[in-house]
């Protein structure tokens, strides 16, 4: 398979601080606090980051502007962080500090702020500590002040409290950083929309202006002709390599016609070039076509290439479902995969909801080696050719959709279930049996009432905490469909 894409690096700004009035009073305090700040830098660096001076931020993932001791230094740090264009600002409260030191950072940086209060150890040594030693544990003291000040100046407040080697706290910090990375991907992403709406799907219809309005980023409107001029340019060497990649990734069913497989490989090469030429982070497509002409054949030949693209980290889905390709991008960047999904049937005997989709699948979340089947007809669509059949890995899964309200606001809609064993159809579709721990009919009614639309991403693991963080950073409401 072609190499996975290199994801956009998350840029984290770091500012540490304490009240400068303490330094002459307790000479040993500042050196100790700077050691703690250095440890925070080290831990952030372990998140595949390279910590560099602020003068070289172009290659940096963590922008450390140092230690501040008063409001003037806070204002200077705010300007450095504003210029750095960070995805998240981490403010480390090493001891008490005034709100005037961090409010400028929160207001001017243009990025959400996470305050962290990590004292040196789990608890003070009360028998030996004096005032200076206690102050190194006093990062909790300014948190209510910061929360109150942030509220009054209109800045969202969020924090993580713990101690320097507290893995629970670092797990929470990592969650915020991952969410900030997804927010950054959405803020700067380029999303392809190729073809036209599947006739009659009101829920799929998307006002393109609402994408940058809600998420940021850019929607690149594409024609199937953009693919038509690229697919024929795929030479025999490129097609042969794509066929080898396909045979390595799939079990090829006897129903696959060789001519259809070669055509799908040629379209896949064209898709790779399309994505590269337009710099796409995601793609949604649909084209009906007529009577076997080239556009119909291209639309029918998309499944293989879209599946391979999705596995590489460029989510691609059919039916012109832009909001679902965005949901798949979110789940992919959270490390949970995410495959194009809708409701298929309810199994009241086994207490499960059967869901999945025809067409492209995410090969990274399959329970077993996916099958490529030949189909003489695509149900509800024009064309014929090869289709992907697989099921999602057993265990916890999260459904993630991107709904839209009447006023145009986007919302995240999510639910957690468990993929379980059982019989599946063998019709060239991705299909999974998901147990939500309740009556399938009742769950389906609750899920449908959330406003999710009829497509979403089915991702592995329970990523609800990450989605809550993403909602908090991006301003998206998160609707959780629970038991």
Mean pLDDT, to the nearest integer, of 72-77?
96
**DSSP code, position 66:** E
Contact assessment for residue 332 and residue 325, using Cβ atoms and an 8 Å cutoff: no
265-268 long-range contacts, CB within 8 A, separation 24+:
265/234, 265/239, 265/304, 266/231, 266/232, 266/234, 266/239, 266/242, 266/301, 267/227, 267/231, 267/298, 267/301, 267/302, 267/304, 267/305, 268/242, 268/304, 268/305, 268/308
Q: Which two tokens stand for residue 310?
A: 């999705």
Give the number of other CB atoms < 10 A from CB of residue 216: 15
Q: Does the pLDDT value for residue 230 go beyond 60?
A: yes
Mean pLDDT, to the nearest integer, of 455-481?
96
Confidence (pLDDT) at 1: 57
Task: Choose from 57-66, 304-313, 420-429 the range with maximum mean pLDDT.
Answer: 304-313
User: How would residue 9 be classed by pLDDT, with cut points 50, 70 and 90?
Assistant: confident
Confidence (pLDDT) at 384: 76
C-alpha distances in angstroms, 50 versus 40, 46, 58, 376, 415?
A: 13, 8, 11, 52, 35
Confidence (pLDDT) at 55: 35
Contact assessment for residue 88 and residue 180, using Cβ atoms and an 8 Å cutoff: yes
**Cα separation, 177 vs 181, whole angstroms:** 6
Q: Which two tokens stand for residue 159?
A: 């924090």
Q: Cβ-count burial of 183 within 10 angstroms (0-12 exposed, 13-18 middle, 19+ buried)?
A: buried
User: pLDDT per residue over 116-168, tens digit each?
Assistant: 999 999 999 999 999 999 999 999 999 999 999 999 999 999 999 999 999 99
Answer whether CATH 2.130.10 is correct for domain 189-480: no
Answer whether CATH 1.10.10.10 is correct for domain 12-187: no
Contact assessment for residue 242 and residue 273, using Cβ atoms and an 8 Å cutoff: no
pTM of the model: 0.93
Q: Select from 221, 116, 214 the least CA-distant residue to 168.
A: 116
Question: Domain-by-domain residue ranges, the chain?
Answer: 12-187, 189-480
């Amino acid at each position: 398979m072609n190499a996975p894409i290199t994801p956009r690096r998350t840029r984290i700004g770091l500012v540490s601080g304490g009240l400068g009035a303490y330094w002459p009073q307790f000479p040993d305090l500042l050196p100790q606090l700077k050691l703690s700040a250095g440890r925070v830098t080290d831990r952030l660096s372990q998140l595949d980051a390279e910590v560099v001076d602020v003068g070289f931020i172009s290659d940096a993932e963590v922008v450390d502007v140092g230690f501040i001791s008063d409001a003037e230094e806070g204002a200077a740090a705010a300007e450095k962080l504003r210029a750095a264009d960070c995805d998240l600002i981490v403010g480390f409260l090493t001891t008490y500090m005034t709100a005037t030191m961090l409010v400028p950072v929160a207001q001017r940086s243009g990025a959400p702020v996470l305050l962290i209060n990590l004292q040196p150890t789990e608890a003070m040594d009360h028998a030996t500590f004096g005032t200076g030693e206690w102050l190194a544990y006093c990062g909790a003291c300014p948190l209510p002040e910061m929360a109150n000040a942030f509220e009054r100046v209109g800045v969202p407040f969020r924090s993580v409290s713990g101690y320097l080697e507290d893995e629970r706290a670092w797990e929470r910090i990592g969650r915020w950083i991952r969410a900030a990375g997804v927010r950054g991907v959405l803020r700067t992403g380029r999303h392809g929309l190729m073809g036209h709406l599947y006739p009659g799907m009101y829920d799929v219809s998307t006002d393109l202006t609402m994408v940058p309005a809600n998420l940021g980023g850019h929607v690149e409107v594409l024609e199937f002709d953009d693919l038509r001029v690229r697919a024929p340019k795929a030479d025999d060497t490129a097609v042969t390599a794509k066929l080898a990649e396909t045979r390595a990734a799939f079990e090829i069913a006897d129903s696959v016609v060789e001519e259809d497989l070669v055509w799908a490989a040629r379209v896949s090469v064209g898709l790779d070039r399309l994505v590269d030429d337009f710099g796409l982070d995601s793609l949604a497509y649909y084209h009906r076509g007529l009577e076997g002409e080239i556009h119909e054949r291209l639309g029918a030949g998309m499944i293989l290439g879209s599946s391979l693209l999705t596995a590489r980290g460029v989510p691609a889905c059919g039916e012109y479902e832009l909001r679902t390709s965005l949901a798949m991008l979110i789940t992919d960047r959270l490390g949970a995969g995410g495959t194009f999904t809708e409701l298929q049937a309810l199994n009241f005997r086994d207490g499960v909801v059967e869901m999945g989709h025809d067409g492209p699948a995410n090969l990274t979340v399959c329970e077993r080696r996916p099958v490529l089947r030949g189909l003489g007809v695509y149900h509800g669509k024009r064309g014929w050719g090869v289709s992907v059949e697989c099921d999602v890995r057993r265990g916890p899964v999260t459904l993630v959709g991107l709904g839209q309200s009447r006023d145009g606001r986007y919302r995240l809609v999510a639910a957690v279930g468990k993929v379980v064993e059982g019989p599946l159809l063998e019709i060239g579709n991705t299909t999974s049996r998901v147990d939500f721990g309740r009556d399938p009919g009742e769950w389906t009614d609750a899920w449908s009432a959330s406003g999710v639309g009829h497509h979403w991403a089915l991702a592995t693991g329970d990523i609800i905490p990450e989605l809550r963080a993403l909602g908090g950073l991006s301003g998206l409401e998160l609707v959780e469909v629970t038991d």
